Structure 1
Amino acid sequence: MTLALVPLLLGQAPTFEQLEQMKQDAINKLTGFKGTYVMVSIPQEGAGMRQEVTLTISPDGRRTKLYTEGLDVAESAYNKKRKWTAYLLDKAYEMDEPEGGIELPPNAPKLTPAAGEMSLTLDDLGPRFATNPSPTVTAATEDTVDGKKLTRYDAKTISPTQKSQVQITQWFEPKTFVLRQFEITKTTEGRVSRIKGYLIKDSINTKVDPSEYDLPAAYSGFKRIKPR
């Protein structure tokens, strides 16, 4: 048992950092995972943006593919020996085989937003969030979403100037603690913007063939470039 899981098992509210670590621990324990996170930004005014990130995760490696507004933008994968990234709009790819190999599971670098700001990433580590100051988390509750019982955590932070507030809600699978859905609401002097995310087409603890981390034949004709 890891310390990060203790607050959950005791029914107490974890810190936000513990909650984020619990997400990473949950992903790392899966024998295999495939799924797509859809993330939609909803500003108070103007057009929003829709992005999709498809993830393949197993002890043998990780693979991600990014779509923005329906366009295939980039795809990347790595195993313990090599990493490749294909830039699909440019029809180019890079490949690297670092001396000493690649660590699996990967370490999650700490997100360090500036004071009063928020950081959000969605990559091979899944959706991750951080705010400065760190949010206060309430104890887990059970919530029913689309007929499915999920574990819900709410977190809230107020900027040092007291002019903005961020609310982060995350819904998890009760058994595997895989993140199923999230919603971020930022209120600044009465103006509200939102980011909503949800998991689709998912398969948890599925078998993943190690060959899925190899460069696809469809990309081998792309121009090879030096790693950026």
Structure 2
Amino acid sequence: MSELATKAREWLEAQGFAVRDEALWHEALTHGSTDEAIDYQRLEFLGDRVLGLAVAEWLYRNSNGAEGKLALRLNALVSKGSCAKVARSMGASEHIRLGKQARDDGAANSENVLGDIMEALLGASFLESGFDATREVILRLWADALDAASGEKKHPKSALQEWAAGNQRRPPKYELVERSGPDHKARFTVRVSVHKVGETEATANSKQEAETEAARKFMEQYG
């Protein structure tokens, strides 16, 4: 039976995980670069589905968006980058069990590895404590991302930039469509578009204000 390092166990419990079967958590933290017979991949597979269900349920209960909009939000919230961000904020890097070469190559800070580890931990939690308890952990760890899911608590341009990245889309493109009126009372119309998603326009007294409003409209329509 694999033993979990005391420091790792204390860290996991501090994150809200209930640790009973140490071998399970040892596996969740073990990268394929070690010389052990097990690694986190099977738990990662399971945790990915648990995370998806928990976030999908939250979106269904807390958003009136149509299926397409919900799917886009879900993809962003459960993306590898989102998982890695949560794992990094938890301090997961120092607890990942890596082979020497992988560690020397910086795998402990790799977005892919951190994202995989986060999903593996959720898989282990599901096996140990069930879905309800794991969902509570997810909703706590993802609280900031969930609050910002609609883009309402961030600057619209920042929210749109993060949304595009999370959904593996090209960065948003802003274009000045029209400038009208005298210099002292100019009006600017700006179009923002995301490739293969859509576009929106807005008009304001400055180009910056028009970009912000266009981004806000885009998030309302597509985010």
TM range (shorter): under 0.3
| TM-score for the superposition, normalised by structure 2 | 0.26
Higher relative contact order (CA 8 A, sep 6+): 1
Max radius of gyration: which structure?
Answer: 2
Question: Which has a greater percent of strand?
Answer: 1
